[in-house]
Amino acid sequence: MRLKDKVALITGASSGIGKEAALLFAKEGAEIVCVDVNDAAGKQTVAEIIALGGKAAYVHADISKAKDSENMVKFAEEKFGKLNVMFNNAGIMHSSDDDAINTDESIWDLTMNINAKGVFLGCKYGIPAMRRAGGGSIINTASFVAVMGAATPQIAYTASKGAVLAISRELAIVHAKENIRVNSLCPGPLHTELLMKFLNTDEKKNRRLVHLPMGRFGEAKEMAKAALFLASDDSSYVTASDFMVDGGLSAAYVTAE
């Protein structure tokens, strides 16, 4: 098992990439701390892991708040004794996110607080725990749009994910000699509830699909498998990477007219 004897904290564990990663990481031997604001769904993920013979626990946390982020790391150490893997995955993509002219300041602030500040706070409190554990792997969910831009305007989301790339690269260099690796996972367009709510018309969906060499949206399970590689010792010489898992999109991308 690729994560045997490791403890992994996963934010956004109630659905999508986070839930699939929690299930997969547990199958690979990790003890899982599931973090979310949706308590019922987060606890359901834990129940599914336990039903499959794994070990998991749930903690409520709003990752945009320092106290909650500090507490989720404290919970992991108290519950399972250490922290080896932190998957800062939770994020939002607001349906009112648009271009710079039409995006309200409140949408910008909300998106940046969760997507960028949430990653900062996760790292702020997670890194000291990893030092105590003798090292670890941090995976921060970014997006292909942080590298390429988006055909459908979503300025706050794109900017927030660009921040995730910058945060990850800097922390990777700062902590490389402490056996702490930091990488960004950059999914392409996925068939998840988060994206489907944003791409709420056939026109928006088709503007994404037309650029995808594989001709389909990715699946959350595929992103979980990519995250597993970054979490495991298989990626022991990988840090500061922008890990593109996008069905070839970044190689074929052109801006839609």
Region of residue 69 (phi > 0: left; psi between -120 and 50: alpha; otherwise: beta): alpha
Write out pLDDT tens, residues 145-182. 999 888 789 999 999 999 999 999 999 999 999 999 99
Q: What is the pTM of this model?
A: 0.94
Indicate the pLDDT class of residue 253, thresholds 50, 70 and 90: low
**Whole-number Cα distances in Å, 4 to 39, 58, 61, 128, 160:** 27, 20, 26, 22, 33
What pLDDT is recorded for position 3? 98
Q: Structure tokens of 241?
A: 């990477």
Residue 257 pLDDT exceeds 60: no
What pLDDT is recorded for position 82? 98
CA distance 192 to 199: 10
Q: How many CA atoms lie within 13 A of 170 on its CB side?
A: 10
Residue 13, classed as helix, strand or coil, is coil
Write out pLDDT tens, residues 1-14. 999 999 999 999 99
Residue 141, classed as helix, strand or coil, is strand
Query: How big, in percent rounded to 5, are the helix, strand and coil portions of the chain?
Result: 50, 15, 35
Indicate the pLDDT class of residue 231, thresholds 50, 70 and 90: very high
Tell me how crowded residue 15 is: count the other CB atoms within 10 A of its CB.
Answer: 18
What pLDDT is recorded for position 234? 98
CA distance 35 to 60: 6
What pLDDT is recorded for position 85? 99
Domains and CATH numbers, the chain: 7-242 (3.40.50.720)
The catalytically annotated residue of 58, 125, 157, 253 is 157
End-to-end CA distance of the chain: 47
Q: Structure tokens of 252?
A: 């074929």
157 labelled catalytic: yes
Lowest mean pLDDT among 49-58, 153-162, 210-219: 210-219
CA distance 115 to 44: 24
Give the distance from CA 38 to its chain's centroid.
16
Residue type, 85: V
CA distance 97 to 33: 31
CA distance 196 to 148: 20
Residue 32, classed as helix, strand or coil, is strand
Residue type, 69: S
Residue-averaged pLDDT of the chain: 93
**DSSP-assigned letter for residue 234:** G
